[in-house]
Structure 1
Amino acid sequence: MTAELVRGQNHLLDRTRVEIRVAAGGPVVAGVMLGDAQGRLSGVEAVAHPGAPRRTGIEVPRQAAAEHRIAVDLDALPGAVHRVSVLLALPGTTGALTTFGAAAAPAVAVTGLDGTALARYTLTGLDAESAVVAVELYRRQGAWKVRAVGQGYAGGLLAMLHDQGLPQAAELAAEIEQAVGQGQARAVPAPAPVAAGRSERPVTGPAAPPTGDRPSSAPRTTSDDPAAQAPGAPTAEPTAAADAASETGAASPASPAPPAAGPVDYRHPRRRSSPAPPDPAPSPAATPSAPATVPAAADAPAQPVAGDAAGWSMEERLYNQVWGMFEDLARSVAAYRSADDFAASRLEQELDEALADPRNRLGTAADVARATAGDRHASLVMQARAALDRDLGQLVAESQVVEPALPPAFARWDSPVWHSYQAPQERPMALRLGDLHLPEVLDLRIPMLVRLPLERGLWIDSGPAALVHGGPDPEREVGRRELGSALTDGPPDEAELDRLAMETAVAIAARLLAVHPPGDFAVQVIDPAGTAAPALAPLLESGALPALPVPGAQGVASVLEGLTRRVDLVQMAVRHRAADSLPPDLDPAEQLLIVHDFPHGFDDRALTRLRYLADEGPAVGVHLLMVADRARTREYGPVLDPLWRSLLRITPVPDAHLADPWVGHAWTYEPPLAPEGSQVVRQVLGQLAAARRTT
């Protein structure tokens, strides 16, 4: 099974002859640096690059291209070589890209010679960098491992080589640029844009988010509050020229010119969709001898298939398929709303023109003008709704196929997959944080997937403000029925919202525990008032939470002090590459800190530590989950605004406050609560506890 790596993570290689495959959003230069046990290079002869593509045990491509294959024979390397670092660089002024942040995140995969993927790493978070050390293969106690590095350099290739301690860095950088310039004409051209009828989708990285910080590709918020910013998902951004053309209306250089007039096609260019309606049949008067034709069976819409997307594994294909459905629904509804707005504006314009003449304002002429304009408006709306219903029908059918095939990390709590749950051996690539839907189709839920590990914390808003941005009444009633009797008749009061918020936090914590291998994830809770005990019962019963949190300011200080120490130690170990020197009492598991009833029990020192954990914790495995009333925290002034802005706001009840990264619809978010009366959370945590005891 392919290991999905994140920055700093390593994976054991079970073979010594491998290929390193690179896929980028544009032409890049690939090379390899051979270092000793401390990572030092012996000289320019320790670098394989387009000007010198072959070193002992290494062969790299001779030119810049969007895809590369690097051959590595670890057994053939000199005995002094302990590190094989793969570098990627943009080809200077001759390249189409100037920074890695201007295109899709590059992906690096270590495969066997037969193409079997062993480990994969997507280099997310790159922005102004033009050179990066992507991965390194290193020797440890006689075995070879691969580590995801992702160290970028805004100064380009020269800055990277300088950082490796090469005194001839400038000469080597110039030699590489010269070799790339000479081989540029032979570079493999980028593939032509995929036709609209094909079913391939781009392999996305995180997420982006969706687009704010990518990957992630979760939605972004549209609340007027600048703090209500969600991550840019799971990274489902268009990366090919055809995608950009579909958004801007411009034609792709590799595609035929569009017709001079006609409707705009908002459908995703890489997803299979229903065929366009056939052209109207010619009139018999025009072609009296033309026989009537019957559409071929091949023109019928293709049946949806779970995993019908690009990816290295079924999990990644399902992830990309869910994001493709998300984008398709966003664009289909955008087309419908645009057509509806056009019909309304045209109706108003026609009525104004018809009634501009005073002679048409009386008698039957005014009635005829109004009726004619109304008929045109109704016809346009019916055509737009028919197109939307066609797309929605296909998406609903696809959802009915995809939802049962989702693994536990992507599935709802009521999915049958939880009945056969077994503790995983490795962490998944993403987690379901809830569902999203639009008012045009209330019965179609799109899973809200965020990449793991979490790149930012969560804020579950337990105050009445959680209902301010709510959707229409029918939408809210659907969400109320889905939550069962957890919501009483009428709007929930403050105590009920607080209870639902803490139950949502426990449901998310249980999901995170369930999708990680036993012992790789732990939960800590801060509850100064001691009111969260009923909601914490599933965690206490399973042993995931050893004991109830210590109340008062003392409990707040002790937990924050321990986690701050952990972040400091791990940061130093990562910075100095001394992970083996961590103290034995340090828990290596990732930590989720649930803070309830914030800011009760917090002084200035505790608040400073909490903000430090929110900023620095995710990079070293400490994640924050706040359960608090945003309105109440405003009493403390702007000091809490940075904390609020750094977290993704979600709500314990259905609420329309999230936006997609393509057209900005206000999507209704529904929390991942288990069905009323279900024991699935307790059962899953119990099985996880049993697996933890056996391991």
Structure 2
Amino acid sequence: MTAELVRGQNHPLPHTRLEIRVSAGEPVVAGATLGDEDGTVAGPDRIAHPGSPALPGLEVSRQAAADHRLAVDLDALPGTVHRVTVLLALPGGAGGATRFGALPAPFVAVTALDGTGVAGYTITGLDTESAVAALELYRRQGAWKVRAVGQGYAGGLAEMLADQGVARPAELAATILEAVASGASRTVAAPPARTAEGDRARHGAALTASGAPGDTSPTAPAATPAPSPAPTTPVPPAPTGPISYAHPRRAASATPPPPAGTDAGPAARPEPAHPAEPGRPAAPVAGDATGWSMDERLYNQVWGMFEDLARTTAAYRSAVDFAESRMDQELDRVLSDPRSRIGSAGDTARATARARRDELTARAREALDRDLAQLTAESEVVEPALPVAYAGWDNPVWHGYRVPREAPMAVRLGDLHLPESPGLRIPMLVRLPLERGLWVDSGRSGSEAALAMDDAQLRRLAMDTAVLHAARLIAVHPAGEYAVHVIDPAGSAAASLAPLTASGAPAAPPATGPGGVASVLTRLTERVELVRMAVSGGATDALPPGLDTAGQLLIVNDFPHGFDDRAVTQLRYLADEGPSVGVHLLLVADREDARAYGPVLDPLWRSLLRLTPVPDDHLADPWVGHAWTYEPPRLPPGSGILGDVLARAVDARTNWRR
């Protein structure tokens, strides 16, 4: 039975291999320090944090997240370590909370590797603190215990580190937060929390009468969904019947009623249940999630599949680790006894330990395969049912494309998959309007696909990929509500840009040369400044009559070549301030090419969502932090669908202007 601790209370630890689980409601930084008998931390090499996540006997998360799992092996800690202190800190940043008092009380739990609870602690009483020492594992007379600490620090991470005797704590705190900020650009953002009005609000870039951008969703950062218990038991029970395709966590909650006075239409009403025929499993259903419209239900279902795959893979990996650890312990016991070290007894003990490991691993894989079969069956019915905003370019839905009357709630930017299930692809859906710009990395990311290409091929493919992203963003917005601008300083991307320029989608021909670059950047920068001042001053009625209030997408090729210091400053400004007033960047660049600018461009890279033109495992989920392989969008060979879609979108825009 799990012990519920209060501040200052301690509890014995029955195991030496443990997991520490953190649930905070919003993204926090989790780390741990290794202290001596007095609690003093000898130096930076005794601190596990996102920039240095692994130490002997200790591993922490590589990013800020609402939920964390820290792995601790007390037997593997250095002999001089007597305390392991778990630290939580707020990462700060735009829109982030700056004090724990504004968040739900964090919860920290200590569990065995099989998920059995040992102790839990809800950290209450926090107010202005932005960092907290949550709990500590400490050694007394050879035995380990856990103590609930809950000591908060209004001075943040630096003050907390200084309290533990760390030298130069401010520098170390800055290093940790820098690593967190860098990791944020690699994370797939979780879907935002549902508001009282739901997701029926218009997500356009036009200004409302109140002066706020047309997106009426809340401006607070999205909370990561509360985790459902992950199945970490290493030996799951075998099924006794056919596979069930029901998803209790996603389907148990009823679809909320639409707001009073509205009619969401037939598609918004829950579909009737589909009972299985006797002896056959129930068939998976597209739209098997909550929502007021089919698009919203499909969006929530895709995110449910993404979370399910993340958690079932985490359970499998945990079970495999447990099996390996158990085998190692059994072999250590055999080898520690000189009588069984050699001879038939030793061989038998080794074979028995390996057989147990293989059995546990096989049963874990069996459980994973059952879950994968369930998710694959669901994917096979969901993928064909997706609307154009969520559909792959090979989906037949594009052949019936019509320009929408309102912007969708999200857009697909590619696919994600894990190495345990490379054939199961989860659509990568990102909410609209974009909260940050996009960066298509044209450099050598380290993936095998990138290493197999020369520089020219990789840059051409990066620009081709950016054009596909831009074409989808144009296609999913209503006529006249999305404008595209292109900067190509050297004119080197003409071939890739041909589908856009031939259709007339950009507002003007691609800008080239220093004069063209300066003209476009100055015009968009002035637009952002003007609209921001009007919105903050509540004077949107005073905006010039001819001001284009449509969303703006700026495609920038081959950055930073051909950009002077002024242009670089303007791009940084657009990246930081543009999304709030409907101006978004789509940058095609190799970060290595920007080394001449030093660290001045680091904030720019961190403010953009990095995508790649080739498969690469650089993205992480917000639940367990797996490294997911990102698959960029691709057109079917020989397909003319891109030109057809762009032609229809431009025709609709022309008719709208008339």
TM-score, normalising length: structure 1: 0.58
For residue 621 of structure 2, the aligned residue among 636, 660, 666 is 660
> CA RMSD for the aligned pairs?
3.5
Quote how far apart the aligned CAs of 1:241 are.
13
Quote how far apart the aligned CAs of 1:376 are.
0.8
For the structure 1 residues 394 and 262, does the alpha-carbon distance in structure 2 shift closer, same or farther, using more than 3 Å as the test?
Answer: closer
Task: Name the counterpart of 1:517.
Answer: 478
Deviations 1:598-629 (A, max 9, x none): 11121121111111111110011100111000
For the structure 1 residues 319 and 394, does the alpha-carbon distance in structure 2 shift closer, same or farther, using more than 3 Å as the test?
Answer: same
Quote how far apart the aligned CAs of 1:300 are.
6.5
For the structure 1 residues 693 and 601, does the alpha-carbon distance in structure 2 shift closer, same or farther, using more than 3 Å as the test?
Answer: same
For the structure 1 residues 390 and 222, does the alpha-carbon distance in structure 2 shift closer, same or farther, using more than 3 Å as the test?
Answer: farther
- Confirm whether residue 386 of structure 1 aligns to residue 386 of structure 2: no
SS in 1 for 2:307: helix
Quote how far apart the aligned CAs of 1:580 are.
3.3
The separation in 2 between residues aligned to 1:342 and 1:522, in whole angstroms, is: 54
Letter in 2 for 1:533: A
2:192–2:224 Cα contact (<8 Å) kept: no
The separation in 2 between residues aligned to 1:424 and 1:243, in whole angstroms, is: 33
SS in 2 for 1:548: coil
For the structure 1 residues 397 and 247, does the alpha-carbon distance in structure 2 shift closer, same or farther, using more than 3 Å as the test?
Answer: closer
2:466–2:588 Cα contact (<8 Å) kept: yes
Deviations 1:397-425 (A, max 9, x none): 00001000000000000000000000000
The separation in 2 between residues aligned to 1:449 and 1:442, in whole angstroms, is: 18
The separation in 1 between residues aligned to 2:472 and 2:652, in whole angstroms, is: 16
Task: Name the counterpart of 1:449.
Answer: 429
For the structure 1 residues 460 and 245, does the alpha-carbon distance in structure 2 shift closer, same or farther, using more than 3 Å as the test?
Answer: closer
2:188–2:619 Cα contact (<8 Å) kept: no
The separation in 2 between residues aligned to 1:392 and 1:271, in whole angstroms, is: 17
2:236–2:363 Cα contact (<8 Å) kept: no
Letter in 1 for 2:611: I
2:235–2:319 Cα contact (<8 Å) kept: no
When structure 1 is superposed on structure 2, of 563-572 and 427-436 the one drifting more is: 563-572
For residue 412 of structure 1, the aligned residue among 385, 392, 409 is 392
Task: Name the counterpart of 2:653.
Answer: 692
The separation in 2 between residues aligned to 1:241 and 1:621, in whole angstroms, is: 25
Task: Name the counterpart of 2:299.
Answer: 319
SS in 2 for 1:385: helix
SS in 2 for 1:441: coil
For the structure 1 residues 397 and 270, does the alpha-carbon distance in structure 2 shift closer, same or farther, using more than 3 Å as the test?
Answer: same
For residue 234 of structure 1, the aligned residue among 180, 185, 191 is 191
Structure 1: stretches of 5+ with no match in the other structure = 1-24, 26-100, 104-123, 132-154, 156-220, 250-258, 274-295, 477-486
Task: Name the counterpart of 1:561.
Answer: 522
The separation in 2 between residues aligned to 1:647 and 1:241, in whole angstroms, is: 20
Quote how far apart the aligned CAs of 1:223 are.
10
1:577-616 alignment, distance < 5 Å:
577-616=538-577
The separation in 2 between residues aligned to 1:263 and 1:507, in whole angstroms, is: 43
- Confirm whether residue 246 of structure 1 aligns to residue 207 of structure 2: no
1:50-199 alignment, distance < 5 Å:
127=97
For the structure 1 residues 347 and 247, does the alpha-carbon distance in structure 2 shift closer, same or farther, using more than 3 Å as the test?
Answer: closer
2:489–2:557 Cα contact (<8 Å) kept: yes
Task: Name the counterpart of 1:430.
Answer: 410
For residue 350 of structure 2, the aligned residue among 347, 354, 370 is 370
Task: Name the counterpart of 2:459.
Answer: 498
1:272–1:302 Cα contact (<8 Å) kept: no
Quote how far apart the aligned CAs of 1:365 are.
1.3
Structure 2: stretches of 5+ with no match in the other structure = 1-24, 26-64, 68-93, 103-126, 128-177, 195-221, 239-245, 253-275
Letter in 1 for 2:571: L
For the structure 1 residues 549 and 431, does the alpha-carbon distance in structure 2 shift closer, same or farther, using more than 3 Å as the test?
Answer: same
TM-score, normalising length: structure 2: 0.61
For the structure 1 residues 567 and 244, does the alpha-carbon distance in structure 2 shift closer, same or farther, using more than 3 Å as the test?
Answer: same
The separation in 2 between residues aligned to 1:242 and 1:430, in whole angstroms, is: 18
**Matched-pair identity in %:** 63
The separation in 1 between residues aligned to 2:619 and 2:508, in whole angstroms, is: 35
For residue 355 of structure 1, the aligned residue among 335, 346, 366 is 335
Task: Name the counterpart of 2:250.
Answer: 271
For residue 440 of structure 1, the aligned residue among 392, 401, 420 is 420
Task: Name the counterpart of 2:325.
Answer: 345
1:236–1:323 Cα contact (<8 Å) kept: no
The separation in 2 between residues aligned to 1:223 and 1:438, in whole angstroms, is: 23
For the structure 1 residues 240 and 232, does the alpha-carbon distance in structure 2 shift closer, same or farther, using more than 3 Å as the test?
Answer: closer
Letter in 2 for 1:630: R
Deviations 1:111-140 (A, max 9, x none): xxxxxxxxxxxxx96857999xxxxxxxxx
Quote how far apart the aligned CAs of 1:588 are.
2.0
Quote how far apart the aligned CAs of 1:587 are.
1.8
For the structure 1 residues 235 and 269, does the alpha-carbon distance in structure 2 shift closer, same or farther, using more than 3 Å as the test?
Answer: farther
Bigger Rg, structure 1 or 2: 1
1:526–1:549 Cα contact (<8 Å) kept: yes
Task: Name the counterpart of 2:643.
Answer: 682
The separation in 1 between residues aligned to 2:508 and 2:578, in whole angstroms, is: 23
Deviations 1:362-404 (A, max 9, x none): 3221221122112111110110000000000000000001000
SS in 1 for 2:559: coil
- Confirm whether residue 570 of structure 1 aligns to residue 527 of structure 2: no
Alignment size in residue pairs: 435
For the structure 1 residues 300 and 235, does the alpha-carbon distance in structure 2 shift closer, same or farther, using more than 3 Å as the test?
Answer: farther
The separation in 2 between residues aligned to 1:242 and 1:248, in whole angstroms, is: 17
SS in 2 for 1:523: strand
The separation in 1 between residues aligned to 2:237 and 2:227, in whole angstroms, is: 14
2:230–2:315 Cα contact (<8 Å) kept: no
